[in-house]
Amino acid sequence: MPIKNGAEYIQSLRGRKLKVYLFGELVKEPVDHPMIRPSINAVAETYDLAVEEPELASAKSSLSGIQVNRFLHIAESAQDLVNQNRMQRKLGQLTGTCFQRCVGMDALNSLYSTTFEIDQKHGTQYHKRLIEFIKMVQRENLVIGGAMTDVKGDRSLSPSQQEDPDMFVHITKRDSKGVYITGAKAHQTGCINSHWIIVMPTMRLKAEDKDYAIVGAIPVDAPGITYIYGRQSCDTRSMEGGEIDAGNVMYSGQEAMVIFKDVFIPNELIFMDGEYEFASMLVERFTCYHRRSYVCKTGLGDVLIGAAAAIADYNGVANASHIKDKLVEMTYLNEAIFGAGIASSYMAHKTASGNWQNDDMLANVCKHSVTRFPYEIGRMAQDIAGGLMVTMPSEKEFRSPETGPLLEKYLKGRKGVSTENRMRILRLIENMTLGRNAVGYLTESMHGAGSPQAQRIQIARQMQLEYKKKAAKKLANVKEGEAAETAPEQSDYFDKIFGTKDKKKVK
């Protein structure tokens, strides 16, 4: 039976006997661990939103013929990609954290077109296998995690040059039924909260790296997988009881290291096996999807802007001109991110496989903005909040019969605002800019889907400087060589902007 809602999703995670380590100890049941449960709650919201707003968070799949969660949908139009962005922003507003399903969604879509093109060249059956896998997870309504980032070891060396070959996930042996892989993936978002993990290469590969060119789907509870849970700032506050100090008691993100030791992938779940020349295509298409998926941070930005406005009100300074100006600036930065991301989706094109790929230049502009703007939004939220955000006594002090009345008196804001509500908003701002969910809002913004230099490289590749120089020289009536003879030709990128299909000359 398919999972219908968030409650059923949470129940589906029970009793899987995962090998999860936290604080050096094996976790008996991750669902019930107070540090892990908030991240599970965040994923559950992706199910409930599909029930409450099906037009936003679900779509009719032409593969399975049923209405499916949008995180499992293969984009069949530019509007599908736009709706992904709208859904991502809404979920950011609902959770104030990372809801952990974007990697899987973007992995499925990038693999859809890449496997099609591998099959065209090599006569393989990867695309057909992938479609059958997608139809299965759509019918059962499962969570897919994507595992791309290897631990890398010596970054100056390729995978096959590493002293320890396990620094990149690779095939260790094979038989007639499939392959076995060993290695580790770092920073894996929502991996423990997923049902399946899709393992992918992390970089361009060469012929000697053929054993590292492996893509396959693996159940999260497959034998040979060990998970080591990642720490987050202030994460143990969720184990202290109470609500205020956690800042966001209901939701959090999740990152873990995933270690594979001779983990089996059957042939029917292998979607690349040695086709090393397609590794770069897969990585570039995945990062193209995923970098515009970072519009999810605008939902978190909405929450932080709201918290900053609320604390200004609680402090009695909501009408101060500098406060209003900061809120305007925060909103401008947040909408600039969203504008680039959703424009990338609107400027999508249809691939040879039939699904739709968003625009790469605008995706990289979106993600590069995300590496900067959330930090500035966070800085201004801290500015508005004041120093009490990080020096405020604990909730236990507030609940104490001895110190509680003193804090009730001396931490009060403007008339009509409860001291407790003021404390709650301050802790939420701390949580999102310094605490546990600063991972989902700030650190992920910097390093997720590639650090800033990765976007700059892609932007540099697509700057179209020669085209722009010719356009400028034509208007200035510069006469030099061929530039005096011909008008500049449009690039593919500008063809999309101008709505032209052929390489027309600018008139």
pLDDT digits (tens, 9 = 90+) for 304-327: 999 999 999 999 999 999 999 999
Q: What is the pLDDT of residues 98-148, one digit of tens each?
A: 999 999 999 999 999 999 999 999 999 999 999 999 999 999 999 999 999
pLDDT in tens, 280-291: 999 999 999 999
Backbone angles phi, psi at 264, to 5 degrees: -85, 135
The one catalytic residue in 46, 73, 97, 102 is 102
- Choosing from 212, 227, 251, 294, the catalytic residue is 294
Of the residues 9, 47, 95, 98, only one is catalytic, namely: 98
What does the pLDDT look like over 405-431, one tens digit per residue? 999 999 999 999 999 999 999 999 999
Q: What is the 3 state secondary structure string of 323-376?
A: HHHHHHHHHHHHHHHHHHHHHHHHCCEECCCCCEECCHHHHHHHHHHHCCHHHH
Query: What pLDDT, on the 0 to 100 scale, is given for residue 494?
Result: 73
For CA atoms 42, 282, 351, 464, give the dihedral sign: positive
Q: What share of the chain is helix, strand, coil (3-state, %, to 5)?
A: 55, 15, 30
Let me know if 296 is a catalytic residue: yes
Count the neighbouring beta carbons within 10 Å of the beta carbon of residue 375.
16
Catalytic residue among 33, 187, 290, 368: 290
pLDDT at 387: 96
Tell me if 293 sits within 8 A of 71, measured CB to CB: no
- Report pLDDT for 482: 56
Q: Is 444 a catalytic residue?
A: yes
Task: Based on the residue annotation, tell me whether 98 is a catalytic residue of this protein.
Answer: yes
Verify whether residue 255 is a known catalytic residue. Answer: yes
Domains of the chain: 16-277 (2.40.110.10), 293-460 (1.20.140.10), 464-498 (no CATH)
The answer to whether 41 and 251 are in contact (CB under 8 A) is yes
The Cα–Cα gap between 44 and 71 comes to 13
pLDDT at 486: 57
Q: Which of 296, 351, 368, 371 is catalytic?
A: 296
Candidates 46, 97, 149, 189; catalytic one:
189
Q: Label residue 507 by pLDDT band (50, 70, 90).
A: very low
Backbone angles phi, psi at 358, to 5 degrees: -75, 170
For 231-265, what is each residue's pLDDT tens digit?
A: 999 999 999 999 999 999 999 999 999 999 999 99
pTM: 0.94
Our answer to whether residue 189 is catalytic in this structure is: yes
Q: What rounded mean pLDDT belongs to the chain?
A: 95
